[in-house]
A and B are shown apart, each in its own frame.
Chain A
Amino acid sequence: MLTVKNLHARIGDREILKGVNLSVNAGEIHAIMGPNGSGKSTLACVLAGREEYEVTDGTVTYDGKDLLEMEPEERAREGLFLAFQYPVEIPGVNNAYLLKAGLNEIRKHRGESELDAMEFMTLVKERMKVLDIDTGLLNRPVNEGFSGGEKKRNEIFQMVVLEPKLAIMDETDSGLDIDALKVVSRGVNTLRSPDRATIVVTHYQRLLNYIVPDFVHVLSDGRIVKSGGKELALELEAKGYGWIDSDTPAQVGA
């Protein structure tokens, strides 16, 4: 589904990604872990198409298409979803309205009919029930005045409504309590299917108790320096990221 080859990206003069290789197949959940500043969020942003980042080398193929050639909204319409680390506030814009507009753009792109207000509300209420989210969230302005936990819940709620093919979660777990973590995991597990894939970007192993990954990758200084199964996350938890830095650079250069 997603093939990242030798991806280099920078912001301003600073090179952040220095040759990332990653392959994600449908049905898989990948966790990308790494210390602060290793480039985890940059990777998520580059995949979503943030314009501040300049890709200087490498390729990204998504569903057989050149992802880097696509505008951010085209990527979204093709089923790529980013759960933001810091969801932005948009005063005066109704949360449900933004979501309905987005959903209908995606449906239009797929050649499906647009949902009217009634159909949309039916869908949304059903999804909210699955996640156990308060419907009050719907009629508030996008993220305005939301607590940190509410913002993250809102991201997961949007994800579950938009049903992306590839969901990228950028540190969705940071700052969340156990209850909110459960909402996040319920969201991801609801979408789990042989047709979809999820990339979970996280600093901590904690979330992976709820979302069990098929693969774990360790990103350090702009490269994936170690990959393994879910047990790698536990090993990291026990030994810390220092273990990676001292242990692996030699084999990465190869």
Chain B
Amino acid sequence: MPTAQETIEELATQDYKYGFVTDVEEDRIAPGLSEDVVRLISEKKNEPEWLLEWRLKAYRLWVDMTEPEWHNLDISPIDYQNTIYYSAPKKTAKLNSLDEVDPEVRATFDKLGIPLEEQKILSGVAVDAVFDSVSVGTTFKHKLAELGIIFGSFSEAVQEHPDLVRQYLGSVVPASDNFYAALNSAVFSDGSFAYIPKGVRCPMELSTYFRINAAQTGQFERTLLIADEGATVSYLEGCTAPQRDENQLHAAVVELVALDSATIKYSTVQNWYPGDKDGKGGIYNFVTKRGRAMQNAKVTWTQVETGSAITWKYPSCILQGDNSVGEFYSVAVTNNHQQADTGTKMIHLGKNTTSTIVSKGISAGYGQNTYRGQVRIGKNAKNARNYSQCDSLLIGDQCGAHTFPYLEVRNTSSQVEHEASTSKIGEDQIFYCRQRGLSTEDAVNMIVNGFCKEVFRELPMEFAVEAQKLLGVSLEGSVG
């Protein structure tokens, strides 16, 4: 029988289940990045001139930018000229129905548990699946269209709803925002787009599933979500990638626009390949996610980050309108040699704006987990309130947890609270559970689950289950 320590280590070093590679013929361009590559991507996607110009402007900005270095991460140099910026399964040009999706690609998504076949979907989740650089199918599209909801790939939206895209693209995360956002703006290949019309409550969870398949390929998807006045939507995002020895780059941008009285909830379960036990391979995940909340609007980010070799990610809220609300609930797990520098920014501009931050970092193995959060309260943000809570859980004695909260308050009527804690799963806690009849594994699961509870209960049901499975955690019963 294993000891508590062994079981913890075993849980922390579980094999990556999604590391398989799909054998499909890919349309890919040569590695390297230049204005020509940007033009080529735009051309392949048959984009309007304004979008090409937008990309080129971003590219020119990027060329003069340098990678940020303020993070608490140890990143081996990335050769941006040795990365492929466009790779797509062939025969994607004219997809009229899901039946035309390459069977290999569909098999991949089936394997991942992403049902593309509408008739099989009982869960009421509309899924857009992004395979390498392109979106390969959107379920429930027609049903949503009856309510005026637009949901599909970003490329389609560019063709079919250019005005909406043009109005909001870059309005929350401008290309100049940071190095990776500029890179994404220049070369993004696809992603998801959703628009919920005024007063409409989206009747199902919208979901995007991202999959990196091709070797040596970067994935640069772009998601734009617009909830018009009084609209409500909940959006789920999941990610996996094959197991490869080299590091792969993922630099995404997500922009959320919540107009007056709109509500957007954006949930992520990020399970990119984290690299092997010795820290070889894995995804470099550099993501810029931000939402803008207008008057009485609410933007909620929930994330469960278990994958990637490196995670650099700060889903943020600009609380522009009066009475707007921003929330961030996060569980970030690092084990083996994974590194995460993640957190949020809450930028209070409007009056009576409130934000809540709950961050749970779990470090195991040699994992390094950093919470970095910024709460900025502007001088006009009268009576703004923020509550932040950062808890770290350490498993074993080789890992690390770090917390960097930045607070900037420019008026006297606001309230900002910050709480932080660091704890270790103790042999005492495990023994206590075992003395009540639980196995060591169940005990560890229960303790980790308890630690993450405040975040898990914010997740949509389907995701809560997946998230708990991902952490090797069994679902708590209905008692209490």
Contacts and interface: CB of A to CB of B under 8 A. Distances in A.
Interface of A: 48-52, 71-73, 75-77, 81-82, 84, 87-103, 105-106, 109, 117, 120-121, 138-139, 141-142, 158, 162
Given A90-B450, A91-B451, A93-B449, A101 B427 contact: no
Contact of A88 (B3, B432, B453): B432
Contact of B436 (A52, A71, A76, A120): A76
A117 B479 CA distance: 6
A30 B433 CA distance: 25
A72 B431 contact: yes
B453 A92 contact: yes
A50 to B, nearest CB: 6
22 contacts: A49-B434, A52-B427, A72-B431, A72-B434, A73-B434, A75-B435, A77-B437, A82-B435, A88-B426, A90-B446, A91-B451, A92-B450, A92-B453, A92-B454, A96-B479, A97-B476, A98-B438, A99-B436, A101-B438, A102-B433, A102-B437, A141-B450
Contacts of B4: 51
A100 B433 CA distance: 12
Q: Which of under 10, 10 to 19, 20 to 34, or 35 or more describes the interface residues of B?
A: 20 to 34
Given A87-B432, A93-B447, A98-B438, 10 more contacts: A48-B435, A76-B436, A76-B437, A77-B437, A94-B450, A95-B480, A96-B480, A98-B433, A105-B437, A158-B436
A71 to B, nearest CB: 5
Nearest to A107: B437
Nearest to A90: B429
B119 interface: no
Contacts of B452: 92
B480 A94 contact: yes
Nearest to A51: B3
Contact of B447 (A82, A90, A100): A90
B439 A100 contact: no
A67 to B, nearest CB: 14
Listed residue (A50, A90, A105, A121) with the most chain B CB atoms within 10 angstroms of its CB: A90
Interface string B175-189: 000000000000000
B69 interface: no
Contacts of A105: 436-439
Given A51-B427, A90-B450, A93-B447, A121 B479 contact: yes
A50 B3 CA distance: 11
Nearest to B5: A51
Closest A-B pairs by Cβ, 9 of them: A92-B450, A102-B436, A93-B450, A105-B437, A102-B437, A72-B434, A76-B437, A94-B480, A73-B434
B1 interface: yes
A190 to B, nearest CB: 19
A76 B447 CA distance: 19
A117 B440 CA distance: 23
What does DSSP make chain A's interface, helix, strand, loop or mixed?
helix
B26 interface: no
Nearest to B391: A91
Contacts of A72: 431, 434-435
B66 interface: no
Nearest to B452: A92
B358 to A, nearest CB: 12
Contact of A97 (B423, B451, B479): B479
A194 to B, nearest CB: 24
Contact of A100 (B434, B450, B451, B479): B479
B446 A98 contact: yes
Given A50-B431, A90-B450, A92-B451, A73 B439 contact: yes
B67 interface: no
A75 B432 CA distance: 13
A51 B12 CA distance: 21
B15 interface: no
Contacts of A109: 437
B478 interface: yes
B1 A71 contact: yes
B79 interface: no
Nearest to B439: A73
B47 interface: no
Contacts of B477: 97, 100-101, 117
Listed residue (B435, B453, B454) with the most chain A CB atoms within 10 angstroms of its CB: B435
Nearest to B453: A92
Contacts of B480: 94-97, 138-139
Contact of B450 (A77, A91, A138, A158): A91
Contact of A71 (B426, B428, B434, B442): B434
A100 B23 CA distance: 47
A207 B426 CA distance: 31
A92 to B, nearest CB: 3
A96 B479 CA distance: 7
B479 A73 contact: no
Contacts of B450: 90-94, 141
A124 to B, nearest CB: 9
Contacts of B439: 73, 105
A129 B451 CA distance: 31
B435 A76 contact: yes
Contacts of B451: 91-92
A131 to B, nearest CB: 18
Nearest to B433: A98
Nearest to A101: B438
A76 B479 contact: no
Given A96-B480, A120-B479, A88 B434 contact: no
Contact of B434 (A76, A90, A106, A121): A76
A24 to B, nearest CB: 19
